[in-house]
Structure 1
Amino acid sequence: MVFLSGSPSMPLHHELSIPPQWVDAVDVIVRSPQTPPIAMICGPKNSGKSTFSRLLLNSLLERYERVGYLDTDVGQPEFYVPGCLSLHVVDECLQDVMTSSMRQPERCFFFGDTSSKRDPECYLNYSFRLYEYFFGKYQSNKHANNRNLLLPLIINTAGWVKGTGFDVLVELLRYISPSHVVQIRISNESKNLPTGLFWLGDEEKGHSKSIEIGAPFRDSFNRTVLSPKNACKIRDNRIFYYFKQCIPSGSNMVTNKEFAHALASISPYQVHITQVKVVHLHCQVPEQEVFHSLNGTIVGLAVSSDGPKTSAGCTPWCVGLGIVRGIDLKRGLLYVITPVSPSKLEKVDLLFQGFIEIPRSLLQVRGCVSPYMSKNVLHKLPDKHL
């Protein structure tokens, strides 16, 4: 299996001919008198939401110096790692609207799953907090005297639009109340969202403009052709790409085997168990098994005191991801691989464990055994006085 070192995602297999209604939809948003616009993109999975979002992003950057991008799709995020909700501020056009890319977010939460179904309440809380952060920093009244500082926002949503997924989307729309809602529709009506301002009650009035467009690819009968994606492979590639940052930039890796060996040879960070608190997301783990459960897993790294404050307490931002490569319970040590800098890592006191797994293609490489309890550590993090 070849490791895609150039891009964390996979290109679509079609040549994109931008439909006229897509051009019109972008033009309506970019030239909106209600500036800066907040546009939420929604529709069934594989209908073209990410492609339209990239096209809109590039068009907005022709008018604004920077554009906000709130990614609420934890399964197939646009700029970051699966399992995360993230906010990005983009200041340069994307070179290819057909593929996604990897960027460091301005703010991020680790949700720990590729769907909101395990904990919709937590998912919505994270989404709301990210939007509040963006609004407070980039669209609040403090910038009223200088509208050049106000930024537009694109909100990318998941393709789960039925059942609980529909309820979650309605809550997002009601809370954010975007200026524009772009709904991509496919030929199979049973998979589409309701038309119009479906998130509002019969007597409620909304200020959002609903824009309905078709998916971009059609067959000879003018039926929608959904863009085929191997979701698992795309997620694996993004995880590969993220942890590739741990490896010296001059390394030339072509295959999964080479990447697995390179990752296994990295000297890990040494973390004292007493200095971190483990939070299991979406499940309960017996107290005596808490640290055993971390072995060989991907975790979200966070600082308990750094995050938006609510009546329920602080909701910690995620500063990055790590792989717990080994545990020495006798010495009370964890060994972690992460691209997060030592200066940030020294402040981390929370490890979030969810259901984001190390790609199997890395675990199944022959002749590659990840060294446990390595004495050759990259950096010993200082003790904290808790």
Structure 2
Amino acid sequence: MADVMVYGKEGASRLGWTRLRRARSPLGVGRRARRRARSLAVGSQRRLRLRLQQAEAAGVAWLDEQGAAEALVVGADWSAREKKARKKKARRRERAERERREREEQRLERERGEREWRQLRQLCTKRVRDGDGDAEERATPAPGPEAAVEADGPEEPPRAPGLGEPFLVRAKAGLLMLLSHSQSLTFTGKCRMTCLYGRVQVFGFIINQGQPAYDLYSPHTNCALNIEAISYVMPEKTLKDMKLEVRSLIKDHLSSANALLVIKQFSPMCSIVLLESLETPATDFILSYPAFSHLFSGKKQEVSSSFNLEQLTMSSVGIKKCEEERGLHLSESSISAIEELITACCEEIDGCPIIMACGPKCIGKSTFNRYLINQLLNSIPCVDFLDCDLGQTEFTPPGCVSLSNVTEPIFGPPFTHQRKTRKMVFYGDSSCEDDCKKYTEIVKYVFSAYQREAPLIINTMGWVKGDGLLLLIDLIRMLAPTHIVQFSSEQCQDMPLLTPEYTTGMAGLQTKGKTKVKNRHLDCNESESSGDPDEGSQPPSPGHKLLLVQSEFPGAGVAQLTQWHSPVLRDMALLGYLALLQPPEAKPFLPLHHLVPFQIPFSSVALRVIHTDVAPAHTMYTVNASWIGLCRILDNVKQKTDGPVFLTDNPVCDCVGFGIIRGISMVKKVYYVLTPLSHEKLRHVNCLMIGNISIPHCIFKSQPKIEGEIPYVTSEYNFSIWGAGKLRVRKLLQRREYL
């Protein structure tokens, strides 16, 4: 055997190894077996050599190929065991490294939480110190995260006590909330909400998984919003598969430690939402004024020992948890009315329903309309809304009658959703007591644009006493609603029931009622059911269905008990429209006197003061620094002189938008107008209407970077001068007597 590999027996040292090699006969292994042996590792070759030496001592002939192959198989078995042991050690090392990384992430997360807790604690203490002198007494330090760490408590973020409370965990860019079935969170503030898993309901609108994020506004002027988890169709998956799906959805928003906590808390029928801080130019513009700076946060930030990390984390997002009593609570009568209206709108047996909400002031009409719109949008794509309330408008600044097509849910008061309307007319006042005839003409003109392609909701004024009730009867005859929702409360029950018999037989301000025949022997001319159409009568309507709603919230129907009065709400609506002037990328916001106005020549537009009579010589003084409606009249503006053009009557025309006349140049013959309208829309404007809607005083008083005297503001004005006050003209026509 010339081509053999010689193995010697291992010894205790190199000298012993050499002696053994020379003393014992060599072990021969064939070429084929030698090739197999080369593929083994060093440790396997050493073990194989030991086996060969043991076999040789037992008298085995190792030059036999079969025996050498069997020995190699034994060595291969040893090699497989060694590989298995190496893999096991590698898995141990990986698991130890993973645990070490998780501990490090938890430590960093805990340190970040401690930092945020200290910062928020200092911020709340500073706010109280700025607002109240005894803040140091009330700002007692609360037990922070350090105490929990020293006590070796659980590393999960703090959660609200109680079994019925949602599970909250801090996310990378906000707050993640896990809600079991029927769990809810009532809050004040503003935030942006995204439904990551399941289904939730906010103010009547159902938000499913995969829908875009929605902006939620819950100021102190209205009832607080409520996020409630509702049931949904369970997927045909196991709980393990559902948890894997949830983990893939939340892994980009949470750290691994917090994601593990959410997975442990997850159960079937749970919903997960992500709450993020919301900063928009509109809200920043409104909150910049001191009178409205506490609109979402409240006037006092109380800091006490009851504050915990969870509440401070929620405040960092921009919300604050409040009691459920501050949320929307629907009475049984309102729930029954909403269900019946939804059924009527979805079936549409007799065409699109026309729903009119009426009742006294501060009774809940606007809140009911918003909730009804959100409920209808769950089933139908759009809802039309006719706003006949001049004082508390929904989608426009005050003083307008408008028709809007609503396709998106409403999650806030009017100043948060000023939008484009289908048709709008500028009446110019927050009340129509001075000219009811002009008001009815405007309502009729706007209602003519309704195409009956979607259900219509009509919002009416809270003026329901005296002439206001008669005007409401005129609107019922003119608009012919199919359903009337009449609101009442324990404090306000003076309004009669608007049954079909009552509205048909009662005379209005401009329409006659249907008189009943008391004696059959009367002349036919005296027993007619309605008057002459030329005298203002309307054809009898087919009738309507009356739905009675009893408002049960505190202070319903009593305007004196409201914290935010109507003038303040109107100012916020005006500020919400003026916030549209802010460029989207403006941070921080730009004051109004920093914006570049449009220049409108005298010859291209006509002027009209619609709420009172003003001499032409004094009209330019009235127009300057005034709120104006940018309108479009059918007649062409004819310029006879070099001065401005004045209208002699109040036309019923479309209003394109609104603005402020910042200044007038008598040299250049131009008006300087601030408006969010574009150049294309301004080309259609040929009339500027000035009404009794005043610009909020905070705009004039709070003008930053102004030195010396503030423009348009003076304290040395003498109101005793003749003509200094506004001349109030009563245009209300005397009501006819039909008895």
TM (normalized to structure 2)? 0.43
Equivalents in 1 of 2:625, 2:701: separation in Å? 13
Who is 2:469 aligned against? 166
Equivalents in 2 of 1:359, 1:97: separation in Å? 18
Are 2:673 and 1:362 equivalent residues in the alignment? Answer: no
1:75 touches 1:114 (CA, 8 Å); kept in 2? Answer: yes
Who is 2:337 aligned against? 25
Equivalents in 2 of 1:296, 1:224: separation in Å? 36
Who is 1:240 aligned against? 575
Who is 1:284 aligned against? 613
CA distance 1:37–1:100, change in 2 (3 Å): farther
2:491 touches 2:558 (CA, 8 Å); kept in 1? Answer: no
Are 2:398 and 1:82 equivalent residues in the alignment? Answer: yes
Residue among 329, 332, 353 paired with 2:669: 332
2:351 is matched by which residue type in structure 1? Answer: T
1:27 shift after superposition: 1.5
1:93 shift after superposition: 2.2
Cα deviation, 1:9-55, whole Å, max 9, x if unaligned, reads 83236321121211110111221243321000000011000111112
CA distance 1:189–1:265, change in 2 (3 Å): closer
1:195 shift after superposition: 4.5
CA distance 1:39–1:87, change in 2 (3 Å): same
1:355 shift after superposition: 0.5
CA distance 1:330–1:280, change in 2 (3 Å): same
1:61 is matched by which residue type in structure 2? Answer: L
Who is 2:503 aligned against? 199
Who is 1:382 aligned against? none
Cα deviation, 1:331-354, whole Å, max 9, x if unaligned, reads 211100000111111221100111
2:630 touches 2:657 (CA, 8 Å); kept in 1? Answer: yes
Are 2:574 and 1:250 equivalent residues in the alignment? Answer: no
1:290 shift after superposition: 1.9
Who is 1:315 aligned against? 652
Who is 2:424 aligned against? 108
Are 2:268 and 1:268 equivalent residues in the alignment? Answer: no
Who is 2:361 aligned against? 45
Equivalents in 2 of 1:263, 1:79: separation in Å? 22
Cα deviation, 1:168-208, whole Å, max 9, x if unaligned, reads 21111010110000000121345434452332206567420
Are 2:402 and 1:65 equivalent residues in the alignment? Answer: no
Q: Which moved more, 1:157-166 or 1:197-206?
A: 197-206
1:12 touches 1:98 (CA, 8 Å); kept in 2? Answer: no
Gaps of at least 5 residues in structure 1 are 140-149, 254-258, 307-311, 372-386
Q: What pairs with 1:99-248 in structure 2 (closer than 5 Å)?
A: 101-134=417-450, 138-139=451-452, 150-189=453-492, 191-197=494-500, 198-201=502-505, 203=516, 206-218=542-554, 228=562, 229-248=564-583
| SS of corresponding position for 1:290 | helix
1:185 touches 1:213 (CA, 8 Å); kept in 2? Answer: yes
1:117 is matched by which residue type in structure 2? Answer: E
| SS of corresponding position for 1:118 | coil
1:130 is matched by which residue type in structure 2? Answer: V
2:357 touches 2:459 (CA, 8 Å); kept in 1? Answer: yes
TM (normalized to structure 1)? 0.81
| SS of corresponding position for 1:115 | coil
Are 2:328 and 1:16 equivalent residues in the alignment? Answer: yes
CA distance 1:362–1:313, change in 2 (3 Å): closer
1:64 shift after superposition: 2.0
2:399 touches 2:428 (CA, 8 Å); kept in 1? Answer: yes
Who is 1:256 aligned against? none
Higher Cα Rg, which structure:
2
CA distance 1:78–1:8, change in 2 (3 Å): farther
Who is 1:383 aligned against? none
Who is 1:95 aligned against? 411
CA distance 1:279–1:11, change in 2 (3 Å): same
Equivalents in 1 of 2:494, 2:608: separation in Å? 36
Equivalents in 2 of 1:196, 1:349: separation in Å? 44
2:659 is matched by which residue type in structure 1? Answer: G
CA distance 1:210–1:304, change in 2 (3 Å): same
1:165 is matched by which residue type in structure 2? Answer: G
1:19 is matched by which residue type in structure 2? Answer: S
1:235 shift after superposition: 0.8
Equivalents in 1 of 2:218, 2:460: separation in Å? 19
CA distance 1:15–1:281, change in 2 (3 Å): same
Equivalents in 1 of 2:223, 2:570: separation in Å? 15
Cα deviation, 1:104-161, whole Å, max 9, x if unaligned, reads 1111001110011121111111111111111xxx22xxxxxxxxxx210000011111
Q: Which moved more, 1:359-368 or 1:112-121?
A: 359-368
| SS of corresponding position for 2:490 | coil
Gaps of at least 5 residues in structure 2 are 1-188, 191-215, 225-325, 506-513, 517-539, 636-648, 713-739
Equivalents in 2 of 1:313, 1:337: separation in Å? 23
Equivalents in 1 of 2:413, 2:434: separation in Å? 31
2:223 is matched by which residue type in structure 1? Answer: L
1:8 shift after superposition: 11
Relative contact order, higher structure (CA 8 A, sep 6+): 1
Are 2:680 and 1:346 equivalent residues in the alignment? Answer: no
| SS of corresponding position for 1:117 | coil
| SS of corresponding position for 1:299 | strand
| SS of corresponding position for 1:296 | coil
2:388 touches 2:458 (CA, 8 Å); kept in 1? Answer: yes
Q: Which moved more, 1:296-305 or 1:89-98?
A: 89-98
2:439 is matched by which residue type in structure 1? Answer: Y
Equivalents in 2 of 1:337, 1:348: separation in Å? 14
Equivalents in 2 of 1:77, 1:344: separation in Å? 23
1:186 is matched by which residue type in structure 2? Answer: S
Equivalents in 2 of 1:82, 1:314: separation in Å? 19
Equivalents in 2 of 1:313, 1:98: separation in Å? 28
1:214 is matched by which residue type in structure 2? Answer: Q
Equivalents in 2 of 1:218, 1:264: separation in Å? 42
Equivalents in 1 of 2:681, 2:449: separation in Å? 21
Q: Which moved more, 1:209-218 or 1:74-83?
A: 209-218
1:7 shift after superposition: 6.1
1:187 is matched by which residue type in structure 2? Answer: E
CA distance 1:20–1:290, change in 2 (3 Å): same
1:61 touches 1:92 (CA, 8 Å); kept in 2? Answer: yes
Cα deviation, 1:263-286, whole Å, max 9, x if unaligned, reads 111111111112211111121111
CA distance 1:109–1:348, change in 2 (3 Å): same
Equivalents in 2 of 1:77, 1:16: separation in Å? 20
1:68 touches 1:87 (CA, 8 Å); kept in 2? Answer: yes
1:218 shift after superposition: 4.7
Equivalents in 2 of 1:96, 1:275: separation in Å? 38
1:8 touches 1:102 (CA, 8 Å); kept in 2? Answer: no
| SS of corresponding position for 1:31 | helix
Equivalents in 1 of 2:493, 2:687: separation in Å? 43
Who is 2:626 aligned against? 297
